Structure 1
């Protein structure tokens, strides 16, 4: 592992102009490429205290052995050169948005003499047109089955085609008119190419022309008393409609746009892109990548606030994704043209239109990139025309952007669950935790607590339980904080201490499994909605996690010492860099970024956070409803709660008569009249 100070250039030797820089390892291999408006400022940020760097950035600067840079004339040139070098050197620490290998697509082999349509999943190949991606494999096959009624092109494999060509008779699809049977000469290759052109044109978005043509031919056939042909054309139209229904209109007709959104955590980022062509969603793609380099920042901002690294992530994605798309499109076009020349231009010409413009007129993003003007210039050059890059603020486009963001959030969540969702991964995670924390045995039962509040009000906490790496929701608990609340400010450390004390006050009794009428949940507390009763915990955990760093762990350890708890391992998980803190240690334990143990800890912490947030919102909503009844003489918290519970809402209570209020348990005519009059005054 290299010491960055050994190769750090003198600050005065680094120019302040825009440029692109490369970090190289001891073997002179390029391991990271970046760009900067000011090279001196950007490179200086890499040579600060290692403990202040993101783990991924720390690993990069300690792997590197040298850094070099190239000055360019403008920030646009820097963007272009950065993209070129990333493509050329394929640096291991750069974020790479590889072609999606998970989504199926509909493919047309335009390079073949007799092209075919087929289902495909995998890396892109030259000489093949791709449509999609689709969300499910059955959607691709259903689309092909519907469209070959209208465009009876070949769908069989090369082996099947050659066999029927030698037999001199078509396959079943040829007999039922779902294939024009070029294998037996029913149509010539040129005629089949025209059918393929129509299929590609339709899939590329030119649907109106096909629908109008079929309607016209159907009406003409009916006028000529060709009822069988008219019926077939009617069925073709129904097949076309069925395909088009799968791509519902989401924006105004003629809208060509891509919508891009991210969801991130401290270590990774999920990106989703929706392709809208002609107002319809034509495809969707998604990636989950590790944050690295300029995108890897320790600070995630306040809860609910955007990730500060989002502009850098967006900029990197836009340049890389559309640059790759344009290069791939040019490569496929050149290959197709070469194929045409080999077969002879007089035999047939390539008349199929483009599937879609790879860089649309409008690109809608969740957040503007860091250098929005320069990125817009690069995208416009790639498209050959102006590109409108912006954040949608209202209307249908804003609503669709929220859908894209939800997809990104779900993709990141599913990515986290995937690695701890199977038995092998869970076993590995528990084994890694045992080794990293020096435990005598794997932590088969893990509990985690988190605190939620807004500026010290409605302070609540959650406690979630995982057994064998999976949630045990019947043991979830939630608490209203007593000792640390009510002073108008938050004290997470005191709250953690209170929850730890309330959880472990009967630790020794739980271990002995003696019946105890008292319960973990206090009288004024509510049990998690997924719990069925108020039973005490069946047994204590092997591992107890608090959400926070060294101060929170120290507070929980003080409670452990007070209660004599010595057989439970205590750790804290800090959000900033996903550091694991042990009691009394000056330095945190850093788990490998790709370890199963870290994924499991993140899942447990996120579940505790989710549960605490939900309970906090519920309590805040209750308080806000009940606050409208404040100041009524003789009406305490219990009676306020009874009123709201009886009528369902304050609004319905305002509409009630004195007699209806007096029917509530504990209310007499005098108190009911007082409530009635006060509500009328406030109204």
Structure 2
């Protein structure tokens, strides 16, 4: 009990029933809401010795001053109550999904007396139907150009509409047939609403009826020898088929499903949702999330589904997810009840929740996941490129590390090796929060006892340039001799202390130094017993993560290039092996490991390699 929080309840007092629990701070504010099939089993996990808790969980538990719970009748009821309280109290430690507002949508304002169709980047209008998001605004304009002659819904603003209504004269769109002109009473408000509903139905995928009706009208007009009208129907059919083909996929017509993809790293995640109706993709939705607590993929899927269907969207008959949540049965019950309620049909089929294992849906699921990966990359790139965000990150780093000024130039080092051999290191440079690739450097290390020794050697070599030891005047003038505002090493306290020793021996202890440990994203200062923990959603931690990942990528790519160059050199030493034959051997086996495993006969099977040459290759590799 000594190594836990003082408000911990007695284990026997916690019920074993399903329920919902809430952590509160000293002011009574709710910090976290969670659900559990067994409250005792779940809550006791939070009150384990503090040093065994994940750092982010420990921060939540120690920030709280009390915990309380509410017993419910089933796991499904717990799910509903948890969802309600998260929406009501917006706890800071719960997962917070955010709609990606960077994409435009096509909206039909069915809540207005005279509905209109417009392009928007928000989804806040009451009783509006949204379609998209699209990747580009011009893609929506192109879609509107095609479908407005078929469904002439108004696109003008309320001010323009009222002006036309007062004058009784429609605008140009009404005269050219791209608006039904309810402002000039060419159609009644009811007739115009019917057109808007038809447009919404078409955009939702119910297009077969419209095309069939237009074909019948075209045939009738042709039989009546009204060829001008028949040509207009023909153009409308082509327009609808063009719009529909833009979202077609090779699936059965009766496929009615939503497919989710998830990509995540230590700090954030991205969700993609493909809406498939009648075998075609009818919409794409995306969310980003910064996770405050350490959560599993199953928990993210749980929250992802509730976010997706929180609005007025109707769950389909089948939902495809990357991983089933632990409470999948409760989620299925909730989705089924939601579907029946919104369809106003108590006999509607139950929703199926599953992971696609094979076939077309599995292939499409992989595509959705790939889109999620790209969305996560885009999200991180946008954060990295924003000037205000970068400035805040540098300011937060200055404050967290107690630096005299913001570190405008940061250098980050990483060690890479292959089982203790072929040791290399990388140095990446960020200036004003952006990568400066022209200042990147690579280091080859002949030998080292371990990573800490390798880090000591690299920092010693870096310090030699800064102090000017054994460096000629031309090199002194290079950017490599420019001192940084902060050194960052990939690793914990041992790596930091090794780097600090090298800087101290060079007389550069005045340059700040910090280590970033990957497991908990914690910062270590030289000689300190405890790390600095930055908030999970802080821009400073995000910048440190970018530095570490870039240094790791650069080190790995250098080591791979070194290994490839190594084997090329070895093969080139074999008498009779020119560049063409070296390339043929490596292309045939794909890797050095496979080449080493191959027999002489397998090497000789390559058209350019004779049996004698194959024997020479194997003999040479055996000596290396």
Q: What range is the shorter-chain TM-score in?
A: 0.7 to 0.9
Q: How far apart in 2 are the matches of 1:536 and 1:119?
A: 49
Alignment partner of 1:475 out of 439, 445, 451: 439
Determine the structure 1 residue equivalent to 2:209.
209
Determine the structure 1 residue equivalent to 2:580.
646
Cα distance, 1:28–1:566 mapped onto 2, change above 3 Å: closer
Q: Counterpart of 1:311 in 2: which secondary structure?
A: helix
Q: Counterpart of 2:96 in 1: which secondary structure?
A: coil
Stretches of structure 1 that go unaligned for 5 or more consecutive residues are 298-307, 330-357, 486-490, 520-534, 627-634, 662-671
Number of residues paired by the alignment? Answer: 594
Cα distance, 1:644–1:204 mapped onto 2, change above 3 Å: farther
8 A Cα contact 1:36 1:42, kept in partner: yes
Asked if 1:447 is matched to 2:411, the reply is yes
Q: How far apart in 2 are the matches of 1:135 and 1:76?
A: 37
8 A Cα contact 2:416 2:425, kept in partner: yes
Q: How far apart in 1 are the matches of 2:286 and 2:440?
A: 33
1:233-267: CA deviations, max 9, x gaps?
22212322332233132544332222222222333
1:475-512: CA deviations, max 9, x gaps?
22334554249xxxxx4334433433444444422797
Q: How far apart in 2 are the matches of 1:123 and 1:158?
A: 19
8 A Cα contact 1:510 1:537, kept in partner: no
How far is 1:181 from its partner?
1.4
Cα distance, 1:267–1:679 mapped onto 2, change above 3 Å: closer
Determine the structure 2 residue equivalent to 1:400.
364
Alignment partner of 2:297 out of 299, 310, 313: 310
8 A Cα contact 2:5 2:62, kept in partner: no
Determine the structure 1 residue equivalent to 2:221.
221
Determine the structure 2 residue equivalent to 1:112.
112
Determine the structure 2 residue equivalent to 1:10.
10
How far is 1:581 from its partner?
0.7
Determine the structure 2 residue equivalent to 1:354.
none
Q: How far apart in 2 are the matches of 1:435 and 1:91?
A: 26
Cα distance, 1:510–1:471 mapped onto 2, change above 3 Å: farther
Q: Between 244-253 and 576-585, report the one with greater CA deviation.
A: 244-253
8 A Cα contact 2:466 2:481, kept in partner: no
Determine the structure 2 residue equivalent to 1:573.
516
Determine the structure 1 residue equivalent to 2:596.
none
Q: How far apart in 2 are the matches of 1:641 and 1:188?
A: 90
Determine the structure 2 residue equivalent to 1:537.
480
Cα distance, 1:381–1:656 mapped onto 2, change above 3 Å: closer
Cα distance, 1:93–1:677 mapped onto 2, change above 3 Å: closer
1:612-664: CA deviations, max 9, x gaps?
333445556677x77xxxxxxxx94652699474332315785777xx77xxx
Asked if 1:675 is matched to 2:613, the reply is yes
Q: Counterpart of 2:378 in 1: which secondary structure?
A: helix
Q: How far apart in 2 are the matches of 1:18 and 1:618?
A: 56
8 A Cα contact 2:384 2:390, kept in partner: yes
Determine the structure 2 residue equivalent to 1:349.
none
Asked if 1:587 is matched to 2:530, the reply is yes
8 A Cα contact 1:511 1:539, kept in partner: no
Cα distance, 1:367–1:415 mapped onto 2, change above 3 Å: same
Determine the structure 2 residue equivalent to 1:97.
97
8 A Cα contact 1:4 1:61, kept in partner: no
Q: How far apart in 1 are the matches of 2:578 and 2:406?
A: 48
Asked if 1:377 is matched to 2:323, the reply is no
Alignment partner of 1:515 out of 474, 477, 483: 474
Cα distance, 1:419–1:680 mapped onto 2, change above 3 Å: closer
Asked if 1:551 is matched to 2:487, the reply is no
Cα distance, 1:499–1:200 mapped onto 2, change above 3 Å: same
Could you state the TM-score of these two structures normalised by the residue count of structure 1? 0.78
1:581-609: CA deviations, max 9, x gaps?
11101111223444433222121112112
Q: Between 360-369 and 586-595, report the one with greater CA deviation.
A: 586-595
> What pairs up with 1:309-388 in 2 under 5 angstroms?
309-322=296-309, 324-325=310-311, 328=312, 358-384=314-340, 385-388=349-352
How far is 1:44 from its partner?
2.0
Cα distance, 1:113–1:435 mapped onto 2, change above 3 Å: closer
Cα distance, 1:636–1:272 mapped onto 2, change above 3 Å: closer
Could you state the TM-score of these two structures normalised by the residue count of structure 2? 0.85
Q: How far apart in 1 are the matches of 2:336 and 2:615?
A: 67
Cα distance, 1:642–1:70 mapped onto 2, change above 3 Å: farther
Cα distance, 1:644–1:209 mapped onto 2, change above 3 Å: farther
Q: Counterpart of 1:515 in 2: which secondary structure?
A: helix
8 A Cα contact 2:427 2:440, kept in partner: yes
8 A Cα contact 1:319 1:378, kept in partner: no
Q: How far apart in 1 are the matches of 2:578 and 2:84?
A: 65
Q: How far apart in 2 are the matches of 1:313 and 1:387?
A: 20
How far is 1:149 from its partner?
0.6
8 A Cα contact 1:250 1:281, kept in partner: no
1:25-55: CA deviations, max 9, x gaps?
3343433210122212321222344455455
How far is 1:71 from its partner?
2.2
8 A Cα contact 2:336 2:350, kept in partner: yes
Q: Between 175-184 and 313-322, report the one with greater CA deviation.
A: 313-322
8 A Cα contact 2:96 2:291, kept in partner: no
Alignment partner of 2:458 out of 466, 478, 499: 499
How far is 1:375 from its partner?
2.4
Determine the structure 2 residue equivalent to 1:181.
181
